[in-house]
Amino acid sequence: MNGQKPPETRDRSELPSQQRRGEFDLIERYFAPLAGPGAFALGDDAALLTPRPGEQLVFTADAIIAGVHFLGDDPGADVALKLLGVNLSDLAAMGARGVGYLITTAWPRTLPEAWIADFATGLGRGQALYDVELLGGDTVATDGPLSLSLTAIGALPTGEALRRNGAKIGDRIYVSGSIGDGGVGLQILRDALPGGDTADRQRAIERYRSPQPRLALGQALRGLASACIDVSDGLVADLGHLAEQSGVRMAVELPLIPLSPLADLIGGVQGAITAGDDYELLFTAPPAVEDQVLAAGQGAGTPVHCIGQVIAEQGVALRNAAGHLVTLDRPGYRHF
Amino acid sequence: MNGQKPPETRDRSELPSQQRRGEFDLIERYFAPLAGPGAFALGDDAALLTPRPGEQLVFTADAIIAGVHFLGDDPGADVALKLLGVNLSDLAAMGARGVGYLITTAWPRTLPEAWIADFATGLGRGQALYDVELLGGDTVATDGPLSLSLTAIGALPTGEALRRNGAKIGDRIYVSGSIGDGGVGLQILRDALPGGDTADRQRAIERYRSPQPRLALGQALRGLASACIDVSDGLVADLGHLAEQSGVRMAVELPLIPLSPLADLIGGVQGAITAGDDYELLFTAPPAVEDQVLAAGQGAGTPVHCIGQVIAEQGVALRNAAGHLVTLDRPGYRHF
């Protein structure tokens, strides 16, 4: 999207309609209108961003491929919101606000232009929801599957980033929202999983297709949380990442985990905590700030729930409703 | 690369060798060692960067696909240097220094691990050459062609970015280095183009495979150049972009264009100026600073050559050795 429009496609009015689907034309039609002021309508070599004094910038990148990270028949707008959402979720986990993003896309030659238009609509919706702007990118055609890559840029006050390595023994463990909807939504779409209330099913599908990054909550947790991560690999796996990076053990009470109303469809709590795609925040904080933590969740519109405590040694330990403590050999994902 | 290593692959020593080729293992083995201090060895949700006071940041992203933007049998290290080079060339054209980059990669399942290792070696070499660090990324497997996407981040003093839209009537037009090597190199590799001196052929191949971004020159041109672009689409096309963005006509003397010693193999000056992949800087500057412009080229180790003048009206005009002025209908690429 560096403005490298071959002049052949410059004046759209001169071209027969079947030629209008050039890569550069797609940029001009669908993506240039999304560009922020620093991106010069994607008409220069690169975009400019003026950082605010006293802020650090935060960067993350994710790639998603049709058939692997989303389903081939997912609507374009949902895929755009998912791509933005999973990246902004990483920024949320650091406590950052969103600033902007760059996107590169490899479109299969057979992809209908209407899908691309819908995709751009989704990006525009995401920009409004999360207060980010398009800063640049590139688009190419491919003989392979639809592949999308996004780099997200966020910002936060210098020195206040939430990290994975700060959990301390005695801290409480919290998770936001509910766990398992993403996994339920995936199985409904991919495997035609039956059962459950219609509204709950729709909500699970929406949470799978267009997860909402917890940006407001992440920012509210700066100065409160001692460690934070977003739940993308599944709650147990992400507990394992916090445990590993912090050098502690995460002791979690299974009955305290806020579950999707449809969790029973995927095996209850054990299914929910090993499914991924929740994009909630999982974090630790000292007991002294518990009231502030709960208030932060209320203020951000995403309730948080205490699910356990940080203890000595390494790994993840889960206690079930009968009070039996299950210690996992490895600090992460495992089938029960 | 957000540290989402499934614990199954965490301890490499536990795995049989045929399983070691997991995506997460590739990150740990080849990419984590390239990560800068703000990237936390790719073990956190995102990377942190502290901007220098008084600087703006510059962003650009490009995607390249095997068989389209590079040849399937190009060595991994060269592809890495090309991917870094084409992105950093956009930063150079803005007058920025390089800071860092994020990379997403879609590896075909059949790609030999040795190619990936060579690719990472090339990234490391590029990091040392251009003083940039890896800030993050993501890696996925694909059934399609090898696809690579890179977001480059640069920095420059606030307000000093070189843009495409500042060329003024009376300014001189300059280009760095020589024009046509990229096109010659491509045709040697792709079409077995014969002819020319062996050392020149090798140099053309190298310039095609691993173009050197003119970062030092771009920075030296801040405060001197009135408009700047990197030559990626071909000299005439990029003259057209400058003309279009600046609302002027670029009048170029063909005999003044510094040509590849092998330009005759691809049709001489007319072939060279319509081939792409040169990654030289094309810029304009007022006549009053000509001495400083030439000195900037010498200082940066990349000589610059005056090839014409900015005149009134729109588009690109080329004058040949016989003094005949050819006015192009459109401000860009056209076959002669």
Q: Which pTM value belongs to this model?
A: 0.89
Write down which residue in A157, A186, A203 finishes a domain: A157
Q: What is the DSSP string of A89-158?
A: HHHHHHTPEEEEEEEEEEEETTS-HHHHHHHHHHHHHHHHHHT-EEEEEEEEEESS--EEEEEEEEEEET
Indicate whether B334 belongs to any domain: no
Q: Is the C-alpha dihedral spanning A273, A279, A280, A282 positive or negative? A: positive
List the helix and strand counts (H, then E) for chain B.
9, 12
Write down which residue in A157, A188, A219 finishes a domain: A157
- Give the span between the Cα atoms of A220 and A237, in whole angstroms: 24
Indicate whether A336 belongs to any domain: no
Q: Angle A198-209/A181-191 helices, nearest 10 degrees?
A: 100
| Record: contact B44-A144, CB cut-off 8 A | no
Indicate whether B165 belongs to any domain: no
Instruction: Return the structure tokens found at A82.
Output: 């998912």
Pair B15, B124 in one domain:
yes
CA separation, residue A167 to residues A64, A177, A235, B135, B210 (Å): 30, 21, 16, 24, 44
pLDDT at A60 over 90: yes
| Residue predicted with more confidence, A224 or A276 | A224
Q: How many CA atoms lie within 13 Å of A127's alpha carbon, on the beta-carbon side?
A: 18
Pair B127, B188 in one domain:
no
Residue spans of alpha helices (H) in B107-196: 113-130, 181-191
Asked if residues A195 and A260 have their Cβ atoms less than 8 Å apart, the reply is no
Pair B36, B105 in one domain:
yes
Mean pLDDT of A212-234: 97
Mean pLDDT of B56-67: 93
pLDDT at A22 over 80: no
What dihedral do alpha carbons A286, A290, A292, A298 form, nearest 10°? 130
| Record: contact A61-B334, CB cut-off 8 A | no
| Record: contact A163-B40, CB cut-off 8 A | yes
> Taking CA atoms, what residue in B is nearest to A46?
B60
| Record: contact A2-B106, CB cut-off 8 A | no
Pair B318, B193 in one domain:
yes
Among B19, B18, B17, B22, which residue's Cα sits nearest to residue B6? B22
Instruction: Return the structure tokens found at A83.
Output: 């791509």
**Residue A70 binned pLDDT confidence (cut-offs 50, 70, 90):** confident
- Give the span between the Cα atoms of B133 and B126, in whole angstroms: 9
User: What DSSP state is assigned to residue B72?
Assistant: T
- Give the span between the Cα atoms of A21 and A31, in whole angstroms: 14
- Mean pLDDT rounded to a whole number for chain A: 88
**CB-CB neighbors (< 8 A) of B158 in chain A:** 50
Per-residue pLDDT tens for B188-229? 998 999 999 999 999 999 999 999 999 999 999 999 999 999
pLDDT at B302 over 90: yes
Amino acid (one-letter) located at A117 = A
Pair A149, A186 in one domain:
no
Pair B317, B197 in one domain:
yes
| Residue predicted with more confidence, B133 or A17 | B133
Pair B135, B196 in one domain:
no
Indicate whether A297 belongs to any domain: yes
Pair A323, A176 in one domain:
yes
- Give the span between the Cα atoms of A63 and A245, in whole angstroms: 24
- Give the span between the Cα atoms of B62 and B26, in whole angstroms: 22
pLDDT at B11 over 70: no
Among A226, A238, A231, which residue's Cα sits nearest to residue A170? A226
Of A136, A232, A330, the CB nearest to B7: A330
Pair B195, B317 in one domain:
yes
**Residue A219 binned pLDDT confidence (cut-offs 50, 70, 90):** very high
Write down which residue in B157, B181, B210 finishes a domain: B157
Domain count, chain A: 2
**CB-CB neighbors (< 8 A) of B68 in chain A:** 140-142
**Residue B325 binned pLDDT confidence (cut-offs 50, 70, 90):** confident
Cβ atoms within 10 Å of A74's Cβ, excluding its own: 18
pLDDT at A1 over 60: no
What pLDDT does residue A20 have? 36
What pLDDT does residue A29 have? 87
**How far does B58 lie from chain A, in Å, by closest CA?**
5
- Mean pLDDT rounded to a whole number for chain B: 88
CA separation, residue B234 to residues A42, A199, A225, B293, B327 (Å): 19, 56, 52, 22, 17
Of A58, A103, A330, the CB nearest to B48: A58
- E strand or H helix at B55: strand B55-65
> Taking CA atoms, what residue in A is nearest to B155?
A48
Per-residue pLDDT tens for B237-271? 999 999 999 999 999 999 999 999 999 999 999 89
- Give the span between the Cα atoms of A46 and A102, in whole angstroms: 11
Place of tokens 């050039």: A22
- E strand or H helix at B304: strand B304-311
| Record: contact A57-B62, CB cut-off 8 A | no
Mean pLDDT of A98-111: 93
Mean pLDDT of B170-196: 95
Per-residue pLDDT tens for B126-141? 999 999 999 999 988 8
CA separation, residue B227 to residues A82, A133, B165, B193, B248 (Å): 38, 25, 6, 35, 11
Place of tokens 């020319």: B196
CA separation, residue B27 to residues B23, B44, B136 (Å): 6, 13, 10
**CB-CB neighbors (< 8 A) of B12 in chain A:** none
Pair B130, B42 in one domain:
yes
- E strand or H helix at B148: strand B147-157
ipTM score of the complex? Answer: 0.88
Pair A177, A285 in one domain:
yes
Torsion angles phi and psi, residue A231, rounded to 5: -85, 95
What pLDDT does residue B13 have? 29
- Give the span between the Cα atoms of B171 and B319, in whole angstroms: 17
**Residue A157 binned pLDDT confidence (cut-offs 50, 70, 90):** very high
Indicate whether B190 belongs to any domain: yes
**CB-CB neighbors (< 8 A) of A6 in chain B:** 233, 237, 332-333
Torsion angles phi and psi, residue B35, rounded to 5: -70, 140
Per-residue pLDDT tens for A310-333? 999 999 999 988 988 875 544 344
What pLDDT does residue B39 have? 86
User: What DSSP state is assigned to residue A201?
Assistant: H
Among A37, A88, A21, which residue's Cα sits nearest to residue A60? A88
Residue B179 pairs in a beta bridge with B259
What pLDDT does residue A331 have? 38
**How far does B199 lie from chain A, in Å, by closest CA?**
32
Q: What is the CATH number of the domain that holds A137?
A: 3.30.1330.10
3-state secondary structure of A239: helix
Per-residue pLDDT tens for A121-140? 999 999 999 999 999 999 88
| Record: contact A153-B59, CB cut-off 8 A | yes
- Exposed/middle/buried for residue B128 (C-beta within 10 Å: 0-12, 13-18, 19+): exposed
Indicate whether B275 belongs to any domain: yes
Among B120, B236, B111, B263, which residue's Cα sits nearest to residue B178? B263
Mean pLDDT of B300-316: 96
Pair A108, A246 in one domain:
no
| Record: contact A245-B94, CB cut-off 8 A | no
Q: What is the percent of chain A with per-residue pLDDT over 90, rounded to a whole number?
A: 73
**How far does A195 lie from chain B, in Å, by closest CA?**
30
Mean pLDDT of B320-328: 77
Among B210, B175, B62, which residue's Cα sits nearest to residue A45? B62
Indicate whether B335 belongs to any domain: no
Asked if residues B230 and B152 have their Cβ atoms less than 8 Å apart, the reply is no
pLDDT at B81 over 50: yes
Q: What is the CATH number of the domain that holds B255?
A: 3.90.650.10
What pLDDT does residue A170 have? 98
Domain residues for A86? 8-157
What dihedral do alpha carbons A65, A69, A74, A80 form, nearest 10°? -70
Indicate whether A269 belongs to any domain: yes
Torsion angles phi and psi, residue A181, rounded to 5: -60, -40
What pLDDT does residue B123 have? 97
